[in-house]
Amino acid sequence: MSIKAIDKTSVHRITSGQVVIDLQTAVKELLENSLDAGATSIEIRFKNYGIDALEVVDNGSGIANDSFDGLAAKHHTSKLASYADLATVRTFGFRGEALSSLCSLSESVTVTTTTQAPLGILLELDARGAIRKKQNAARQRGTTVVVINLFAPLPVRRKEFVRNSKREFGKALALLNAYALVPCAQAGVKLTVTNQTKSGSSTLHVLSDAGVANTDDVAAVDALARTIDKEDFSAMDIVGQFNKGFIIIRRQKILQPPHTQSESSADGTSISSGCTDDLFIVDQHAADEKYNFESLQLSTKIQSQRLLYALPLELTAADEMVALEHLDILRQNGFEVEVIDCDSNGENRFSPEGDVDDDDVTVNHRQSRLKLVAQPVSKSTSFDVKDLEELVHLLHDYAPGRPMVRCSKARAMFASRACRKSVMVGMALNKAKMAAVVHHMGTMDQPWNCPHGRPTMRHLYDINSLRDPERHNINWASL
């Protein structure tokens, strides 16, 4: 076959596929455009995990009317004018390919923008990035970009994206969390990420408040972990219950040997510089809920139900190896698989997943595929193949000794069960029950937050400061 030039439409699609390779990069390009526009509030909305639509709303500088024609044109940008400008560019993007590529790789792209509120312009762009429709629209200062049916012009990539939607959505969330921790936090940008499912319910996944760095929260948690070791919970003194919802506890700890030098307060009282004496308040429901949640996570074997016929699993070679290495974890989560071993004659040999030995996993000359023969069943939660794929994806980073890996549906199910069986707010507790709640915190892997994110405890006051009038200055607003 002779060498011929590729037509411009095909070239555009091919090169666009190099810029936007998955949902994660699509979100990244739009988020960076908003940051480059000086936005202080960015909202990213996924619809059905990004399968149906992706929307990015910001309050940045907007787009001037005279820039509309080049908005989605290939290699059109306001970030630089020549190659020499690369040495001084201070923006995330500068190539002028993001919107052009998204137009080529989606069913439709609409942009609503204005530099002056309240009147904006809504632009509908075609696959080439040209303006197909233009009309006035109410809009505060900033830009909104809506991408419908990403990868629709590419049937194979679209099918792969839909099949692995939860995995791709998870990768996008991981990236957005990273941006929330550093670029957005440093610039004082409020970042909000939500996903609307087919049922219409919307879930908040990322929230970074403007002017409040997430690293401050991490530092606070680390400081609490340095102040309290999990071993300390067994030695906590129970002071009593407050308002039938909280447990007041006291911890006295000698940090240095008894002969440590002491200081004297103004009234002559000796204060050991090597002893801490602190009051803490524990949310009785949140603490007990986290204990029950971790117990369910660790020990529960989810019941499985055999399928009428085995479902072939379309996993990559890497995913197959991970699944074969962690068959016990799959069983614990209610998923049972069969291994189809294709021998040299091309015949399939079925074997239950319980009969697979190490030799079956490591042999390279035999082609292996997996089939799902049973999946988890629960009264309130329905599981499917996508949950198995999510679980396999999580197992890529699993190491022995770490907590049991569960898919997001199982975690939500356990969180609901733990909530219902836990000590409730308004329930009077005797001292033995309060001690049990507090001591259980020392046995948890992560005792600091409940499954829904509420803190289980916080520091009330340093009692040592009460013995020194010069240090006795309570900030009631902080309690």
pLDDT at 439: 93
Q: Which long-range contacts (CB under 8 A, 24 or more apart) does 299-304 make?
A: 300/414, 301/331, 301/332, 301/334, 302/332, 302/333, 302/334, 302/376, 302/377, 302/378, 302/410, 303/334, 303/376, 303/377, 303/378, 304/331, 304/334, 304/335, 304/336, 304/374, 304/375, 304/376, 304/377
Name the least confident of 126-135, 279-288, 466-475: 466-475
Q: Rounded to whole angstroms, how far apart are CA atoms 9 and 13? A: 6
Task: Indicate if the pLDDT at residue 54 is higher than 90.
Answer: yes
Q: Does residue 12 contact residue 128 with C-beta atoms inside 8 Å?
A: yes
Task: Indicate if the pLDDT at residue 362 is higher than 90.
Answer: no
pLDDT at 45: 95
Q: Rounded to whole angstroms, how far apart are CA atoms 387 and 410? A: 9
Dmax (CA) of the chain: 99
Q: Does residue 281 contact residue 247 with C-beta atoms inside 8 Å?
A: yes
Name the least confident of 133-137, 198-202, 342-346, 369-373: 342-346
Amino acid 238 reads I
Name the least confident of 175-179, 272-276, 351-355: 351-355
| Rounded average pLDDT over 270-274 | 48
Pairing of strands 119-125, 106-114: antiparallel
Q: Which residue has the higher pLDDT, 316 or 419?
A: 419
- Which tokens sit at 313? 């699993």
Q: Rounded to whole angstroms, how far apart are CA atoms 247 and 243? A: 9
| pLDDT tens-digit series, residues 7-31 | 766 665 666 556 788 999 999 999 9
pLDDT band of residue 435 (cuts 50, 70, 90) is very high
pTM: 0.54
pLDDT at 364: 42
pLDDT at 459: 87
What percent of the chain stands above pLDDT 90? 28
Q: Which residue has the higher pLDDT, 268 or 438?
A: 438
| pLDDT tens-digit series, residues 209-265 | 655 555 555 555 555 554 677 778 888 899 999 999 999 999 887 765 544 444 444
Q: Which residues of 37-63 are buried (b: 16+ CB within 10 A; e: fewer)?
A: bebbebbbbbbebbbebbbbbbbbebb
| pLDDT tens-digit series, residues 63-115 | 888 888 888 777 677 666 677 766 676 677 666 778 888 998 999 899 988 88
The segment(s) of the chain belonging to CATH 3.30.1540.20 are: 228-297+422-478
| pLDDT tens-digit series, residues 302-349 | 889 999 988 888 888 888 888 888 999 999 999 999 887 655 444 454
CA dist 106 → 101, 124, 198 (Å): 9, 12, 20
pLDDT band of residue 277 (cuts 50, 70, 90) is confident
pLDDT at 262: 47
Amino acid 369 reads R
Instruction: Return mean pLDDT, the chain.
Output: 80
pLDDT band of residue 374 (cuts 50, 70, 90) is very high
Q: Which residue has the higher pLDDT, 34 or 359?
A: 34
The segment(s) of the chain belonging to CATH 3.30.565.10 are: 8-164
pLDDT at 51: 94
Residue identified by tokens 């698989």 is 337
As a CATH number, domain 228-297+422-478 is 3.30.1540.20
Q: Rounded to whole angstroms, how far apart are CA atoms 76 and 36? A: 15
Q: Which residue has the higher pLDDT, 74 or 270?
A: 74
Does the domain spanning 8-164 belong to CATH 3.30.565.10?
A: yes
What residues contact 155, with CB distance under 8 A and at least 6 apart? none
Half-sphere exposure of 229 (CA within 13 A, CB side): 7
